[in-house]
Amino acid sequence: MGDDGTREWAAGDGFIELDGLEKVFDVRRRAGRFRRERQRVRAVDGISFRVARGEMVGYIGPNGAGKSTTIKMLTGILTPSGGRVRIAGIDPARERTRLASRIGVVFGQRTMLWWDLPLIDSYRLAHRMYRVPDARFRANLDRCVELLDLGDLLKVPVRQLSLGQRMRGDIAAALLHDPDVLYLDEPTIGLDVISKTRVREFLRELNRDRGTTVLLTTHDLQDIEQLCGRVMVIDHGRLLYDGTTAGLHEAGGGERTLVVDLERETPPLELPGAPGARVVRVEGTRQYLAFPATQSAAPLVARVAAAYPLVDLSVREPDIESVIARMYGERAGA
């Protein structure tokens, strides 16, 4: 297929397609009193992946990994230094305006709303800017207002909104023109637990009910666990992992924890016949047993229950952060 960027997207293609995508920044740094050194930062260093229509994918990695730079190339804000990117067959950098009607973007750290105007005014401007048909705009606005609970906020100037309210306002603004793809760059950053839950619920419904393709960048690994079946991990501009969220535990060799509450204080449980399981902490009648995340908890639970008087038990999942840390460790040591 041609590289002219005019080819229409066809079913079966990746909806989002990256092939060896690169972004190099030339940075000038002070090096001594008069000298300035040129330095090349390979922010995105050859990333390839495909996302199918309707997928909800997590894009995670430590600070400075290249997540935001990738998103900016997917929206046409930044031009790639190398490689290729297509969204629904469109080359973002060359056809930014045509792409604009297909995508919505939310940057958690920067609002797209008009700071001094009531929220509704930003929406009216978006209505005109994107030339959304009136009936459709109305329907989308009503839906967002209801699901994101914006009813009381429409007349409030954006600068008076709390962070959580503003984020909900930003998400609505990104969706009023019915985009096929939604990019979210750290949408839950700085939000309290209730706001996070609300945002997550909304995104889950959006993806399920409207089939919107979602690419989500986040620091909060619970976002990924709760929303994304697939996750990509990047670091230093390179793709480190692309697979299921569950598989991430396997790749990182993580452990789960069985927390058992016993009837009385007991020396650390001894469990011959439960390979890989070991007591890692004792707090009075509560004991913590670590076991490989890839194993089922059932045989271990049965074994503990057969040998000790139990009051309660629960299984704790590892946080992905530690899994990723392990992954980095392995790579560094390789």
Binding site for Mg ion (CB under 5 A): 67-68
Q: Which stretch binds ligand ADP (CB under 6 A): 67-75, 143-151, 272-280, 319-327?
A: 67-75
Q: What are phi and psi of 282, to 5 degrees?
A: -125, 125
Q: Which stretch binds ligand ADP (CB under 6 A): 11-19, 59-67, 101-109, 322-330?
A: 59-67
Q: Which residues touch 14 (CB under 8 Å, ≥6 apart)? A: 50, 51, 52, 86
Helices marked H in the chain — which ranges?
67-75, 96-100, 119-129, 134-147, 163-175, 193-210, 221-227, 245-252, 298-307, 320-333
181: partner contacted, choices Mg ion, ligand ADP, none (Cβ within 5-8 A by kind): none
Which two structure tokens, joined as six digits, stand for 138? 């109305």
- Cα separation, 318 vs 300, in Å, equals 17
Q: Which stretch binds ligand ADP (CB under 6 A): 65-73, 142-150, 275-283, 312-320?
A: 65-73
Q: Which of 69, 75, 111, 140 binds ligand ADP (CB under 6 A)?
A: 69
Q: Which of 21, 51, 57, 68 binds ligand ADP (CB under 6 A)?
A: 68
Q: Is 40 in the site for ligand ADP (CB under 6 A)?
A: no
Closer of 67 and 230 to Mg ion (Cβ): 67
63: partner contacted, choices Mg ion, ligand ADP, none (Cβ within 5-8 A by kind): ligand ADP
The residue written with tokens 């929220």 in the block is 119
Q: Is 61 in the site for ligand ADP (CB under 6 A)?
A: yes
- Cα separation, 123 vs 259, in Å, equals 49
**DSSP per-residue letters across 304-316:** HHHHS-EEEEEEE
Q: Is 166 in the site for ligand ADP (CB under 6 A)?
A: no
Q: Is 67 in the site for ligand ADP (CB under 6 A)?
A: yes
Measure the CA angle with vertex 188, ends 145 and 151; round to 5°.
15
The footprint of ligand ADP (CB under 6 A) covers 25, 27, 41, 43, 61, 63-69
